[in-house]
Amino acid sequence: GNSVTQMEGPVTLSEEAFLTINCTYTATGYPSLFWYVQYPGEGLQLLLKATKADDKGSNKGFEATYRKETTSFHLEKGSVQVSDSAVYFCALYPNTGNQFYFGTGTSLTVIP
């Protein structure tokens, strides 16, 4: 079946530190992969996506590369800011079917 496993949090980093949030998936075929961000009190919004193997999604300094060989889509940012404090969700949309599958979310707190 389809599933997403995400690094457990919470994660606390100092400003300007390097961020990695791990995400691995199980799916048949070639799913599309997404990272969503949820700021406090808000709904989820798309951060970045990749739709085929070796694609790199990027936005607002965040990057993730679709690795078919390791079934991974790790989120990275070189220098985090206090404003990046949020919950991050990894998700997939499978090759066949009609629903998204989400990880459990990783809470990030960036301290000045």
Partner 1 sequence: NAGVTQTPKFQVLKTGQSMTLQCAQDMNHEYMSWYRQDPGMGLRLIHYSVGAGITDQGEVPNGYNVSRSTTEDFPLRLLSAAPSQTSVYFCASRPTWWSRQETQYFGPGTRLLVL
Which stretches of the chain bind partner 1, using CB under 8 A?
A: 6, 31-32, 34, 36, 41-46, 49, 51, 89, 93-95, 98-100, 102-105
Q: Is the dihedral of CA 12, 87, 56, 94 positive or negative?
A: positive
Q: 41 or 112, CB closer to partner 1?
A: 41
Q: 79 or 95, CB closer to partner 1?
A: 95
Q: 13 or 100, CB closer to partner 1?
A: 100
Beta-carbon contacts of residue 66 (< 8 Å; ≥ 6 apart):
33, 50, 51, 52, 53, 54, 55, 56, 57, 73
Minimum distance, C-beta of residue 54 to partner 1, in the bound complex (Å): 16
